[in-house]
Structure formats: structure tokens, C-alpha cells
Amino acid sequence: MENRKWISVAFVLVTGIMLFIAVYGFGPISPVKDAMKLGLDIEGGVVVVYEAQTDATGDELAGIMNRTKEVLSRRVDQLGLTEPNISIQGTDRIRIELPGVSNVQEAAETIGKTAQLKFIRVQEDSYAVTGMGIDDFEGELILSGDMVKDASTTSDEYGNPAVFLEFDAEGTKKLQEATETVVNYDAREGQIAILLDDAVISAPYTATIIPNGEAIITGSFNFDYAVTLASLIRGGALPIDLEEVQTNLIGPTLGIDALKQSVYAGGIGFLLVVVFMIGFYRLPGVVASFSLVLYALILLFLLTGLKATLTLPGMAGIVLSIGMAVDANVIIYERIKEELLVGKTVRAAINSGFKQGLRTIVDSNITTFIAALVLYYFGEGPIQGFAITLMLGILTSMFTAVVFTRMLLKNLALFKAFNHKKYFGIRGVQ
């Protein structure tokens, strides 16, 4: 029993340590305010809307748009720009939100490139140079970018930036056949032109057969271009052409002000809740306050650990789930007071109160969780952010209200000093 008493002290200390880490960080762990990723509505950034240039309709168009969305997601990830929010608007438009990006034009041009890579064997009586279009020389298409297994930056024999390509089995075979053909030209060498979006970016001569499926793209480009090109190739080619129809740069001032006001309002609300809970429920109110602090810390660590992006609707979800956590405590404490009023001991009242209140808490939380799931499934962007924080908040509040609060109250009741009904809001009774 003595060990159980000190479990309460240990939990309070752990909560204090977590609060210190959340505010100040510890070693490699950054403070929550530095580790948390902020959404477009808070941090600002770029919004780009593209329209698909296609005659497809119905299910065919829907399939094309979904594939385009997947490629754009991979492309943004490969470029390391930010945590994107990509959604399909209507039937033929795609909206991309990039928090933290400030260069509108660069972001739009990089993301919207079709990145259709082609390898063309130049005819013996023709030639290709960098900058030419696909119609400026005679050649035969030998393979395309979808046969490239991997792409990375490297350097050529002169130390100039280049892109290293590794082909799949089919691409390896076709490249070998093409190089076998060009080395049999009268000059014993020939060109393999490499085109990006039908423009020649490199047209190297080769006098040897390439049998291992590895090639290097060289040309008159710098290292930054090589990095971008490799990233675009890894991300994949867009299945259709996209036309940029809208580009906006959103400043962070409004969002940051709204975040500060939300945090300020949340802090005031939390203090008012603490005052009410302690004034009305006494000792259980103190326990509930610690429980809410632990709840908030666990939720913040979960969001940072999952690398979630915090938006203003997400903040609303957090505040709402805090209210639900308080509601769970109120239900339990009212049950405990009822049991105390009929003459039960403190320990018996705690056990009975949690047992009777648990069903009501579980039912209310399950219905809200189902609603959050529906919002997440049918919603997009900020609505999904609200749903995720609400669902995480519900799960966390269930743990803190049912597990942590129950154990802390039962352990405190073991102390003789706290084993009095007056500490549970029952006046005039010892």
C-alpha cells in the first residue's frame, strides 16, 4: 500500500518533467513550439491551382486526376519543399498548398513541369544539340522516363554536375540495343539524345555499348538544375499537361495573430476551468487539473511525433477535445458525490463513481469519434486537420480521465489526510 501511495507522487513528477521538456526541450528534443509544423493558414505560403488539359471525362478523368495528384505529392516530397496539402477541386482542377514557401514563381514552375523524359536514338545523318526541340532532328524513341528506376546527382569526368540514371530491366535492354546500333554507324559512334518535356537537355555521343542499365545525363547546367532534374525524374512524370490558373502568396501575419489569440484564449479558458473544478470539486478538481495538463502534453507530443501540421481548425479540435476531457471528469465526480451523499466511504465512492460514469463517457466519446471519422473521410485539408486532432484528443482524454485520474484519486485516498468527504465537495460532512 505504501508503494501505491507514492505512485501518485511519481506521476506528478513525470508530468512536471514532460512540461519542462515541452517548454524548454531537452538534449536532441526540441521545444514543442519549435518542433510543431504550422499550416498554411498560420505560417503563410503559396497556393497554386492547376487545370488539367485533357478531353477525358467521367471515370477516365477521375482516374487521371487521382494519378496526377499522387505524382504531385511525390514530386513535392522529392523536392523537399514542405508538407503539402493537395486536393482535387471539381473535376479537372488540383489545388496545392505549400506552407512556408515564399517564392511563388519558382514553386509553381517546379511543381507544374510535366517532366516527360525521353531517350531518342539520333539518326546517323542527323544531329542534336542542347536546346533543340523534338522536331528539330531525326530520331527514334527508344525508352521513356517510366523505365528509370532511380535518379541521383553526380559529376562527370570533368567534375561538372550530372545526373546518374539507373534503368529497370526493360530500359536496360532497350538502351543496350540502341547503343549497339549507334556504334555500328560509319563513324563508329552516335548520339543518344535526352529530352525533358520535348526539349533536348543533353545529346551525348557514345562509342561503346551500355549493357548494365546505367547512364549519366550531362549538359550545360549547374548543380541546382541537376538536383531539380533528378528529383523530377524520381517523382515521376505527370500523366497530363497542367495549366496554371491561379497562384497566390499568403502572408503569415493574420495566421500568426490568430494562433496567438487562440493560444491566449485557450490559456484563459484552461485557467477558468481549473478554478471552477477546484472550487466545486476540491481534491478531485486538483486531480482533474493535473489530468488536463498531462492530456495537453501527451496530445502535443503525439502531434509532433507524428509530424502533423497544425492549422487553426486543428487548434479548434484540440480545444474541443479539452472540453470533452473536462466533461468526462465532471460526469465521474458527480457520480462520486452522489455515492458519498448516500453514506459510502471515500474509497467505495471512487470505485462506484468511476464504474457508473464510465459507460456514459465511453458512449459520448465513441459517437464523437465516429463523427470525426466521417469528417476525415469526406473532408479535405483543414477539415481533415480538425478531425485528426479531435480523434487524437478523444483517445488521449479517455486515457487521462479514466486511467490516470482514477489511479491518482484512488492512491490519494490511501493517505489519511485526504480521506475526508469535505475534500470531495461534500460540505458539513467529515
pLDDT one digit per residue (tens) for the chain, 430 residues: 555 656 667 777 877 787 788 777 777 777 777 777 777 777 777 788 888 888 888 888 888 888 788 777 766 665 555 556 788 888 888 888 777 666 666 666 666 665 677 889 999 889 898 888 888 999 999 888 778 888 888 888 788 888 888 888 888 999 899 889 988 888 888 888 888 777 887 788 888 888 888 888 777 778 877 877 777 666 666 777 788 888 777 766 556 777 778 778 778 878 888 888 888 888 888 888 888 888 888 888 888 877 777 777 777 777 777 777 777 788 888 888 888 888 888 888 888 888 888 888 888 888 889 998 998 888 766 777 788 888 888 888 888 877 788 888 887 777 777 777 777 767 654 4
Domains of the chain (ranges; CATH) run 2-37+252-424 (1.20.1640.10), 45-113+242-249 (3.30.70.3400), 117-237 (3.30.1360.200)
pLDDT, residue 429, reads 47
pLDDT score, position 138: 92
List all residues 6 or more positions away from 115 whose beta carbon is below 8 Å from its beta carbon.
75, 145, 196, 197, 232, 233, 235, 236, 237, 238
3-class SS of residue 189? coil
Q: Where are the beta strands (DSSP E) in 184-281?
A: 190-196, 199-202, 205-206, 214-217, 241-250
Instruction: Name, in order, each residue with C-beta under 8 angstroms of 307's C-beta and a sequence gap of 6 or more.
Output: 37, 83
CA distance 427 to 430: 8
266-to-19, 32, 317, 318, 364 alpha-carbon distances in Å: 17, 16, 12, 10, 23
Residue 53 and residue 240 in contact, taking contact as beta carbons nearer than 8 Å = yes
Task: Judge contact between 151 and 164, C-beta under 8 A.
Answer: yes
Q: Which residues contact 370 (CB under 8 A, 6 or more apart)?
A: none
387 with 369: CB under 8 angstroms? no
Q: Are 32 and 20 in contact (CB under 8 A)?
A: no
pLDDT at residue number 209 = 87
CB count in 10 Å sphere of residue 352: 17
Amino acid at 192: I
Q: Is there a contact between 345 and 416 (Cβ–Cβ < 8 Å)?
A: no
Sheet of 241-250: strand order equals: 85-89, 93-99, 45-53, 241-250
Q: How far apart are CA 136 and CA 180, in angstroms?
A: 24
* Rounded-to-integer distance, Cα 383 and Cα 40, Å: 13
Contacts of 341 by beta carbon, 8 Å cutoff, 6+ apart = 426
Cell 548543380, located at residue: 223
Q: What's the pLDDT at 137?
A: 92
Q: Are 369 and 300 in contact (CB under 8 A)?
A: no
Q: Are 346 and 340 in contact (CB under 8 A)?
A: yes
Q: Read out DSSP for 274-312? A: HHHHHHHHSHHHHHHHHHHHHHHHHHHHHHHHTTPEE-H
pTM: 0.59
pLDDT (0 to 100) of residue 83: 58
